[in-house]
Amino acid sequence: MRSKEIEDILLKNAKILSESSSGEDKMKPCNGAMYPSVDAIKEIISIVKAVVFPDFFDSGYNSSNFRGHSIGVNVERLHSILSIEIGKALCFDSDLQNSECGDRSSLLAAGFIDNLPEIKRLLLTDVIAIFNNDPAADNFAEVVLSYPAINAMTHYRTAHSLHNLGIPILPRVISEFAHSVTGIDINPGAQIGEYFAIDHGTGVVIGETAIVGDHVTLYQGVTLGAKNFSYDNDGHPVNIPRHPIIENNVTIYSNSSILGRITVGHDSVIGGNIWLTHSVPPGSRILQRKAVDTQFIGGLGI
Distance between CA atoms of residues 251 and 258, nearest Å: 12
Other CB atoms within a 10 A radius of the CB of residue 163 amount to 21
- Give the separation between CA 168 and CA 157, rounded to whole angstroms: 15
pLDDT score at 94: 67
**Rounded to the nearest 5 degrees, what angle is found at the Cα of 287, between the Cα atoms of 133 and 189?**
60
Judged by average pLDDT, the poorest of 7-21, 175-189, 193-207 is: 7-21
Q: What percent of the chain stands above pLDDT 70?
A: 86
Give the residue-averaged pLDDT of 48-60. Answer: 85
Find the mean pLDDT for residues 174-180: 96
pLDDT at site 301 = 41
For residues 274 and 287, what is the distance between their CA atoms, to the nearest angstrom? 7
pLDDT value of position 292? 55
Q: Which residues pair with 186 in a beta bridge?
A: 206
Question: Taking 70 as the threshold, does the pLDDT of residue 77 lie above it?
Answer: yes
Lowest mean pLDDT among 99-108, 124-133, 137-146, 197-206: 99-108
134 backbone dihedrals φ, ψ, rounded to 5°: -130, 105
Q: What is the mean pLDDT of residues 268-296?
A: 85
Q: pLDDT higher for 46 or 68?
A: 46
**Taking 80 as the threshold, does the pLDDT of residue 234 lie above it?**
no
Tell me the pLDDT band of 35, cut-offs 50, 70 and 90: confident
Q: Which of 18-27, 66-75, 133-142, 206-215 has the lowest average pLDDT?
A: 18-27
Rg (CA), the chain: 24
CA dihedral 152, 153, 159, 164 (to 10 degrees): 150
What is the reported pTM? Answer: 0.86
Largest interatomic CA distance in the chain:
78
Q: What pLDDT band is residue 194 in, cutting at 50, 70 and 90?
A: very high
What mean pLDDT do residues 119-142 have?
95
User: Mean pLDDT of all residues in the chain?
Assistant: 89
Average pLDDT score over residue span 194-205: 96
d(CA 118, CA 123): 9
CB atoms within 10 A of CB 44: 24
Q: What is the pLDDT of residue 302?
A: 41
Residues forming beta bridges with residue 252, ordered by sequence position: 218, 270
Q: Which long-range contacts (CB under 8 A, 24 or more apart) does 180-187 make?
A: 181/148, 181/151, 182/148, 182/149, 182/151, 182/152, 183/148, 184/148, 184/149, 184/152, 186/152, 186/153, 186/155, 186/156
Q: What proportions of the chain, in percent to the nearest 5, are helix, strand and coil?
A: 45, 10, 40
- CB burial class (10 A; 0-12, 13-18, 19+) of residue 107? exposed
**pLDDT of 60 over the 90 cut:** no
Does residue 209 have a pLDDT over 90? yes
The predicted-structure confidence for 134-161, as pLDDT tens digits, reads as follows 999 999 999 999 999 999 999 999 999 9
